[in-house]
Amino acid sequence: MLRALMRAKGWDAVVVTGSDPHCSEYPAERWKQVEWLSGFTGEAGDLVVTLDHAGLWTDTRYFIQAEQQLAGTGIALHKMRVPEQVPIPQWLHEQFGDEGLIAVDGLSMGAGFAQALPGTVISVPDLLGRLWEDRPGVPQTPVYTADPGESRSAKLAWLRQFLQEQGCEGILLTALDEIAWTLNVRASDIEYNPLVISYLLVTREEASWYVLKERVEDPQTEATFSILKSDGIRLLSYEDIYYLPSEFQGRLFVDAETLNFHLYNNLVAAGIPLEEGTSPVQLRKAVKNEHEIAGMREAHLRDGLAMERFLYWLDRSVAAGREITEWDAAVKLGQLRADQNGYLGDSFATISAYGPGAALPHYITPHRYAPVIRDSGFYLCDSGGQYTCGTTDITRTVPMGSCTALEREDYTLVLKGHIDLAMAVFPEGTPGCRLDVLARAPLWQSKRNFGHGTGHGVGWLLGVHEGPQDIRQNLNPTPLMPGMITSDEPGIYREGRHGVRHENLLLCVPAGETEFGRWLAFEPLTLCHFDTEPIELGLLDRSEIRWLNDYNEHVYRTLSPLLPPEISAWLRERTLPV
């Protein structure tokens, strides 16, 4: 069908990305066009269809999954993040030179991505909509306000200060987490991500929020909209954004990384002078204020209680010979989180993986026929919650019984890397990429490694992945700053055998000044003990053992008064110093 359309229109190629009009990392169902067209469900994948070829571009994380899901579709796998990679622009150039006529759905593609394509790129809004009969609509979940300790008026005033410095009349915010942060609003438009699908234009005088008006049928949304209106925010329809190019006057600041190609084209065509750059909200949002930090601490206390109850239940159930599957465990953990105050939902799909399943860093726990958790080897659980006071993300790997020597070594070396990063002291201005090796060196010494980043930023009641900072192999120059929250999650994955990952969230904090400058360090927010049973003590040095004992003791002292006596006693045993 798509090729018939291509022939009719004279297009040489159609490029389809798994992106929404806001360049979200996790799009809502309506924009899962790659999945709809190819069946591939990985989080990173782009499709190219020509008259005689169809290919899916994805990276190392998804090769196995893509090979399985593309089998029989006639769609070829194009591997990225490998030395011989041929990215889409280069591949298209090899096919068509600069002569190709490339059609894209400009709504579901970032302007930056589209601009890198060779040949003539035409934007056909809703390109697949013509073929996709039962395509889901734009989500519209209830909208509520969040309290991050800074008013939307203060944030708008700060943005207007930015506009003045930049000599711009307005800034168009297109990234959903930046809009939610600025307006202190939340919804559930995207699974696990408390976001409202919308656009926000802030000018020196006004703030206009382009959001689906149909939502007002819901009383919570109506109340929220009233509050915003009383704060002077203009509410416009989501689709009204397309009038913006003809109505706006003056210089407009946009971030081409999150602005879709269609809207970008319209702005350019309307002759609006664009100031392109990284949105200032990105960095400001990453640096949490005191209120947000206090909320994150509270969220991690609640999350820790749920985690310890879960680990206790799992330990006892498996020891008692009950047949628990990975899925059962994930459901149980979800229930225990839901029991906590202010729980809104999970912050991403729980990875509940036993044995070989844990060897896939992005394992998806199957609902049906999930593997049973046996009484040996490792169970790995990577999960998190959204609470009204903050967001969590934690991974624990726990021994279900006896472990092999290799399992114990892997467990200990990953923990050593985790601890070495957590203990880091570093000068102001240090980007995370310079610290990444601290979590890896203990693995590298015995020629082990892991293929994912060590740490990602985490939002306050926002996405569990956020920039601009990270701790990974890529040379991202953004310095770590006090108030930033970043994960610390090294791992080891041995296909068909086992996987280990240990993850806490770390708050960056000031650590004083010496004649050599000003210093920063990390403080773990996560509150859940690390199991000491599989540790090969000889692989840890004194300072690492001290950190571990101190951390486990801190977890015990903080959580035990809030746990039932039998779980508290169990946790005491589990947190005795090694």
Nearest to 172 by CA among 163, 164, 185: 163
- One symbol per residue from 296 to 325: x for binding a second copy (CB under 8 A), - otherwise; what is it? ------------------------------
> Phi, psi at residue 451, to the nearest 5°?
-95, 5
Instruction: Compare residues 108 and 478 and give the one whose CB is closer to a second copy.
Output: 478
Instruction: Compare residues 82 and 372 and give the one whose CB is closer to a second copy.
Output: 82
- Count Cβ atoms below 10 Å from residue 129 Cβ, excluding itself: 14
Q: How near is the Cβ of 213 to a second copy at its closest, in Å?
A: 47
Integer Cα distance of 167 and 165 in angstroms: 6
Q: How near is the Cβ of 91 to a second copy at its closest, in Å?
A: 20
Integer Cα distance of 144 and 204 in angstroms: 26
- One symbol per residue from 418 to 457: x for binding a second copy (CB under 8 A), - otherwise; what is it? -----xxxxx---x-xxxxxx--x--xx-xxx--------
Instruction: Compare residues 106 and 431 and give the one whose CB is closer to a second copy.
Output: 431
Integer Cα distance of 348 and 469 in angstroms: 20
Instruction: Compare residues 283 and 437 and give the one whose CB is closer to a second copy.
Output: 437
Q: How near is the Cβ of 278 to a second copy at its closest, in Å?
A: 17
Q: How near is the Cβ of 439 to a second copy at its closest, in Å?
A: 11
Count of residues touching a second copy (by CB under 8 A): 30
Q: How near is the Cβ of 473 to a second copy at its closest, in Å?
A: 7
Nearest 5°: the CA angle 14, 19, 23 is 125
Instruction: Compare residues 302 and 440 and give the one whose CB is closer to a second copy.
Output: 440
Q: Are 28 and 190 in contact (CB under 8 A)?
A: yes
Q: How near is the Cβ of 396 to a second copy at its closest, in Å?
A: 23
Binding piece for a second copy, criterion CB under 8 A, among 64-72, 148-156, 389-397, 508-516 = 508-516
Burial class (CB in 10 A: 0-12, 13-18, 19+), 274: middle
Exactly one of 541, 550, 564, 577 binds a second copy (CB under 8 A); which one?
A: 541
Integer Cα distance of 426 and 520 in angstroms: 5
Buried b (16+ CB within 10 A) or exposed e, 412-424: bbbbbbbbbbbeb
> What are the DSSP calls for 392-420, one per residue?
--EEEEEE-SB--HHHHHHHHHHHHHHHH
Q: How near is the Cβ of 470 to a second copy at its closest, in Å?
A: 13
Q: How near is the Cβ of 97 to a second copy at its closest, in Å?
A: 16
Instruction: Compare residues 55 and 491 and give the one whose CB is closer to a second copy.
Output: 491
- One symbol per residue from 463 to 492: x for binding a second copy (CB under 8 A), - otherwise; what is it? ----------x-x-x---------------
Integer Cα distance of 77 and 64 in angstroms: 10
Secondary structure class of 42 (helix, strand, coil): coil
Integer Cα distance of 275 and 282 in angstroms: 16
Q: How near is the Cβ of 496 to a second copy at its closest, in Å?
A: 11
Integer Cα distance of 490 and 467 in angstroms: 19
Residue 546 binds a second copy (CB under 8 A): no
Secondary structure class of 441 (helix, strand, coil): helix
Q: Which residues is 505 bridged to in the sheet?
A: 487
Q: How near is the Cβ of 474 to a second copy at its closest, in Å?
A: 10
Instruction: Compare residues 368 and 447 and give the one whose CB is closer to a second copy.
Output: 447
Secondary structure class of 31 (helix, strand, coil): helix
- One symbol per residue from 221 to 250: x for binding a second copy (CB under 8 A), - otherwise; what is it? ------------------------------
Instruction: Compare residues 219 and 517 and give the one whose CB is closer to a second copy.
Output: 517
Exactly one of 235, 519, 546, 549 binds a second copy (CB under 8 A); which one?
A: 519
Structure tokens at 40: 């591939």
Structure tokens at 38: 């190819």
C-alpha 136 chain-centroid distance: 23
Binding piece for a second copy, criterion CB under 8 A, among 42-50, 210-218, 385-393, 515-523 = 515-523
Instruction: Compare residues 211 and 424 and give the one whose CB is closer to a second copy.
Output: 424
Nearest to 166 by CA among 282, 278, 286: 278
Binding site for a second copy (CB under 8 A): 423-427, 431, 433-438, 441, 444-445, 447-449, 473, 475, 477, 494, 511-512, 514-517, 519, 541
